[in-house]
Amino acid sequence: MASKKRFLIAGLGFGIIAVLLAYFGNPANMAICIACFIRDIAGATKLHTAPPVQYMRPEVAGIIIGSLVVSFARKEFSPKAGSSTGTRFVLGFVMMVGALVFLGCPLRMVLRMAGGDLNAYVGLIGFAGGVITGSLFLKNGYSLGKPVETKQSSGFMVPLFFLSLLLLFIAVPSLFVVSQEGPGSFHAPLLLALVGGLVFGGLAQVSAVCFSGSIRDIFLMRNFDKFTAVAVLFGVVLVYNLATGNFNLSFADQPVAHSEHLWNILGLYVVGFAGVLLSGCPLRQLVLTGQGSSDSGVTVIGMLVGSAFVHNFGLASSGEGTTPNGRIAVIVCIVILFIVALVNRKKRV
């Protein structure tokens, strides 16, 4: 499959899946959001107790397993580990703080933009700025080191962890918490959500689409290939929203969003910066986990722990706006990102 065609098909598939999940019950402007869904899983497993955001989202396990299956079929499953694993856990944690202050990962940012949410367009400024900052460090020798091959069983551990949680939820749902109101109470039928996740993960594995990577490639190499998939996703969801009357071009009255512009910018600045330092946005981390990367698996666990921390300590934003703790945390995270970028470079910036 030619490169351009591969990204076009992936973007079209992403858009169709997002539309179906939104139509059949997932939250408005949150048809599929990696950060939000990992946060919901943390709530479902009682790692945090915020009532509106607790549900065992099948899409997360679906994306990981979809990537695993397709990587096996394409002989690209490659168990590796050892690339600054502890640092990656911290970066996953930090990335989740930024995402939940903004209220969404880069994937949801694009979906919000396609719904007319002007706050997401403001956030894009920060996301692009974070990616460019990280890319400048890449140009000056930043690296977390090369992973090494490890036992094949190691590559299965995190995928099996998320699959086991989902299977346990299906078998004994009473063990888990499900929101009765708020975003966690809105969800597509389980089978549709799981199949959607599987297909989404498979397409993401084949195309290697990454939201931070798309901007990084434009900035460093003037390569728009990955951005093609993002643009097509945006277009499909935009057409759906216009056709169904769900398009609302405004800052106000947007579902699960706030209009504190500085913190939308800085929240996504953290996500974009961390995404480059990790060599992948939240979606890409799930896909690489499915391909056998224990480093990405640890990053995803960092995101899970980070989402619980964010809600347990009052860092998460809401439709009412940010919190004092959340604003302080974003600044701390930016400092951490610069420290990680500086101490892991080979050349002076």
CB atoms within 10 A of CB 346: 8
Q: What is the pLDDT of residue 2?
A: 54
Considering the domain boundaries, does residue 239 fall inside one? Answer: yes
Give every CB contact of residue 30 below 8 A, 6+ residues apart in sequence. Answer: 36, 104, 108, 111, 183, 255, 256
Considering the domain boundaries, does residue 348 fall inside one? Answer: no
Domain count within the chain: 1
Distance set, CA 30 to CA 105, 110, 176, 317 (Å):
10, 10, 22, 15
Residue 227 to residue 10: CA distance in whole angstroms: 11
**pLDDT tens by residue, the chain, 349 residues:** 457 889 999 999 999 999 999 999 999 889 999 999 999 999 999 999 999 999 999 999 999 999 999 999 999 999 999 999 999 999 999 999 999 999 999 999 999 999 999 999 999 999 999 999 999 999 999 999 999 999 999 999 999 999 999 999 999 999 999 999 999 999 999 999 999 999 999 999 999 999 999 999 999 999 998 999 999 999 999 999 999 999 999 999 999 999 999 999 999 999 999 999 999 999 999 999 999 999 999 999 999 999 999 999 999 999 999 999 999 999 999 999 999 999 999 855 4
Token pair listed for 176: 């888990």
Residues of the domain holding 106: 3-343
Give every CB contact of residue 79 below 8 A, 6+ residues apart in sequence. Answer: 149, 150, 151, 152, 153, 154, 155, 156, 292, 293, 294
Pair type for strands 80-81 and 148-149: antiparallel
DSSP E strand stretches across 197-295: none
The full DSSP string for 289-305 is HHTTBHHHHHHHHHHHH
Q: What is the pLDDT of residue 22?
A: 96
* 3-state secondary structure at position 39: helix
Q: What is the pLDDT of residue 347?
A: 56
Q: What is the pLDDT of residue 1?
A: 46
Q: What is the pLDDT of residue 349?
A: 42
Which residue type is seen at 70?
Answer: V
Considering the domain boundaries, does residue 349 fall inside one? Answer: no
Considering the domain boundaries, does residue 17 fall inside one? Answer: yes
Considering the domain boundaries, does residue 293 fall inside one? Answer: yes
Regarding pTM above 0.85, the answer is: yes
Considering the domain boundaries, does residue 264 fall inside one? Answer: yes
Considering the domain boundaries, does residue 114 fall inside one? Answer: yes
Considering the domain boundaries, does residue 275 fall inside one? Answer: yes
167 with 3: CB under 8 angstroms?
A: no
